[in-house]
């Protein structure tokens, strides 16, 4: 008997979780539940991360948490409990499967176009680091981190999952045509891993083109892996293809801890009224059972759910409005009553359970993810981000005075567009520039050289931020400005 942590959530969370656990118990699923305290009401009790220390300890000892939807208090400067949980426990892969559910009408189901798409979203990095600063009173900065080890984790998971699923195609969605360094790194890792899986057709697509094709020909896609923000957007788009977030399961997979959850809202307007649709949470729970090796239990419940939907049984948020809708508990009971029945479409095979007991990890230090260091590292220069409302020519005159004998000023840009030594009077400016200095003779610089330039330039400008211009093996590891 495996014990998992259960967090019921906020709003409709407790009632849909109770409905799902009732279904599990009726199916004799061999699980025990340890209820933990997480969610908005825990924030309100003064716990800034939305969970009690006891809840964190329980989850870290059990390795699995099954959670309902949770709300983050607005206007209190706290981080989302959902994002915090995923990042704290390094659940680096967000897996969301979108399938046609017969009985849930969409434009595609009405046209007989079947959908079976799995989106794998990187779950830790990107802009979800939430690292933001005001550089001037007009200019905000968000730092976007894409790392080689982090990309490797999620992309390798995506390939392994695609192989086990029997997928034919895996696609990398990206914006490497614009973000050549960050998305470029993600795409580079994708094709590195692809070499190890010759049985899978691996290709890539720019994310805006991906979105267009998903809403016109979703049946052409199988498994898609993306960076965090793009994956967030695309996965919700795919939810719309199959009926909405109420039919979209979510699994957050890590090496040590995994989270299975509903990602729709807490719907406080109907909380406590026995009206909520538990399907998304139930589908997430079925994915959890499969993850734990409880394949027979998962198949029994999923077949009953699919049969129930095919039969036209529905809650108030979907289905034929000419037939009465069921409340949360009656909908759950209808699924239980259909145990042992098979749907006409996509029945799930009954497979013997091979239950996995979650391994309890006791870590005495934080794991360090690091790839082999590249050779030939060199600091070629520095980008100094300065605050000023002067014109580009006036900025350049002052910067040139500080270049000294080691640096040359090569470019000044504003919001990523070059405005010196060439540019256009039609380029609108804000009060923050990037002054790019490079080594005069092409020789490597050291940090002391950069600090000296910083100190000198700070006599004329407020220096908001800086970034080293690194090179490895003679290859520039930094982008050019538009027009440079």
What tens digit of pLDDT does each residue of 343-370 get? 999 898 766 555 454 455 677 888 899 8
Residue 290 CB coordination number (10 Å): 17
- Report whether pLDDT(314) > 60: yes
- Residue 483 belongs to a domain: no
Query: What is the chain's length?
Result: 484
Is residue 191 domain-shared with residue 279, that is, in the same domain? Answer: no
Is residue 288 domain-shared with residue 336, that is, in the same domain? Answer: yes
- Report whether pLDDT(465) > 80: yes
Least confident of 20-24, 27-31, 44-48, 401-405: 44-48
| E-state strands within 301-399 | 378-387
CATH of the domain at 335: 3.40.718.10
Mean pLDDT computed over 114-118: 96
**Averaged pLDDT of the chain:** 93
Is residue 74 domain-shared with residue 122, that is, in the same domain? Answer: no
Is residue 244 domain-shared with residue 101, that is, in the same domain? Answer: yes
Is residue 229 domain-shared with residue 124, that is, in the same domain? Answer: yes
At 79 the pLDDT is 73
Is residue 194 domain-shared with residue 122, that is, in the same domain? Answer: yes
- Residue 194 belongs to a domain: yes
CA separation for the pair 309, 401 (Å, rounded): 73
- Report whether pLDDT(193) > 90: yes
- Residue 260 belongs to a domain: no
At 361 the pLDDT is 61
- Residue 97 belongs to a domain: yes
* pLDDT above 70 coverage of the chain, percent: 97
Beta strand 407-414 with 140-142: parallel, antiparallel or unpaired? unpaired
Is residue 271 domain-shared with residue 398, that is, in the same domain? Answer: no
- Report whether pLDDT(477) > 60: yes
Q: Tokens 């082999």 belong to which residue?
A: 372
Residue 64, classed as helix, strand or coil, is strand
Question: The domain containing residue 73 runs over which residues?
Answer: 1-90+267-372
At 80 the pLDDT is 81
Is residue 463 domain-shared with residue 330, that is, in the same domain? Answer: no
Nearest of 239, 217, 220, 244 to residue 108 by alpha carbon:
217
More confident residue, 161 or 360: 161
Mean pLDDT computed over 311-321: 94
401 neighbors 104 (Cβ within 8 angstroms): no
- Residue 190 belongs to a domain: yes
Is residue 81 domain-shared with residue 136, that is, in the same domain? Answer: no
- Report whether pLDDT(50) > 90: no
Mean pLDDT computed over 451-472: 96
- Report whether pLDDT(462) > 80: yes
- Report whether pLDDT(439) > 70: yes
Final residue of a domain: which of 372, 401, 422?
372
Which DSSP symbol is given to 74?
T
- Report whether pLDDT(139) > 70: yes
Is residue 248 domain-shared with residue 282, that is, in the same domain? Answer: no
Is residue 276 domain-shared with residue 345, that is, in the same domain? Answer: yes
- Residue 262 belongs to a domain: no
According to DSSP, the residues that pair with 116 across neighbouring strands are 99
Q: How many domains does the chain have?
A: 3
More confident residue, 372 or 342: 342
In the chain, what is the straight-line distance between the N-terminal and C-terminal CA atoms, in Å? 63
Final residue of a domain: which of 340, 372, 404?
372
Final residue of a domain: which of 372, 391, 421?
372
Least confident of 24-33, 79-88, 408-417: 79-88
CATH of the domain at 436: 3.30.70.1570
Give the up-direction half-sphere exposure of residue 67: CA atoms within 13 A in the CB hemisphere: 32
- Residue 464 belongs to a domain: yes
- Considering only CA atoms, give the Rg of the chain: 26
Is residue 204 domain-shared with residue 334, that is, in the same domain? Answer: no
- Residue 201 belongs to a domain: yes
């Amino acid at each position: 008997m495996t014990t998992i942590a259960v967090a019921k959530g906020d709003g409709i969370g407790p009632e849909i979780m109770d409905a799902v656990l009732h279904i599990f118990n009726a199916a004799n699923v061999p699980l025990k539940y340890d209820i933990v305290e997480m969610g908005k009401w825990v924030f309100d009790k003064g716990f800034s991360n939305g969970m009690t220390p006891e809840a964190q300890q329980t989850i870290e000892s059990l390795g699995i948490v099954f959670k309902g939807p949770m709300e983050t208090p607005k206007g209190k400067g706290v981080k989302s409990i959902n994002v915090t949980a995923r990042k704290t426990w390094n659940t680096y892969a967000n897996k969301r499967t979108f399938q046609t559910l017969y009985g849930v009408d969409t434009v595609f189901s009405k046209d007989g176009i079947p959908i079976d798409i799995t989106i794998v979203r990187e779950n830790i990095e990107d802009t979800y680091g939430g690292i933001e600063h005001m550089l001037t009173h007009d200019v905000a900065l968000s730092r976007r981190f894409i790392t080689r080890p982090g990309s490797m984790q999620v992309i390798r998971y995506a390939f392994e999952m695609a192989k086990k699923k029997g997928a034919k195609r895996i696609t990398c969605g990206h914006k490497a045509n614009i973000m050549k360094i960050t998305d470029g790194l993600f795409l580079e890792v994708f094709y590195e891993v692809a070499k190890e899986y010759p049985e899978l057709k691996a290709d890539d697509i720019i994310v805006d083109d991906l979105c267009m094709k998903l809403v016109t020909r979703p049946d052409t896609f199988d498994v898609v892996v993306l960076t965090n923000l793009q994956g967030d957007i695309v996965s919700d788009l795919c939810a719309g293809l199959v009926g909405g977030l109420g039919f979209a399961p979510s699994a957050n997979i890590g090496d040590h801890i995994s989270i299975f959850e509903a990602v729709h809202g807490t719907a406080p307007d109907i909380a406590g009224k026995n009206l909520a649709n538990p399907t998304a949470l139930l589908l997430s729970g079925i994915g959890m059972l499969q993850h734990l090796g409880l394949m027979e239990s998962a198949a029994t419940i999923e077949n009953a759910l699919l049969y129930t939907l095919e039969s036209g049984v529905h809650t108030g948020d979907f289905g034929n409005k000419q037939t009465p809708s069921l409340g949360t508990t009656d909908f759950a009971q209808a699924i239980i009553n259909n145990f042992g029945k098979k749907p006409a479409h996509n029945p799930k095979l009954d497979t013997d359970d091979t239950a996995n007991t979650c391994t309890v990890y006791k870590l005495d230090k934080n794991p360090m993810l690091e790839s082999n260091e590249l050779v030939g590292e060199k600091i070629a220069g520095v980008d100094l981000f300065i605050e000023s409302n002067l014109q580009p020519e006036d900025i350049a005159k002052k910067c040139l005075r500080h270049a000294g004998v080691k640096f040359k000023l090569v470019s000044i840009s504003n919001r990523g567009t070059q405005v010196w030594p060439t540019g256009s009077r039609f380029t609108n400016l804000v009060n923050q520039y990037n002054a790019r200095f490079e080594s005069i003779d092409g020789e490597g610089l050291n940090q002391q050289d950069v600090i000296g330039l910083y100190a000198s330039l700070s006599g004329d400008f407020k220096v908001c931020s800086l970034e080293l211009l690194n090179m490895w093996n003679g290859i520039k590891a930094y982008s050019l400005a538009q027009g440079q």
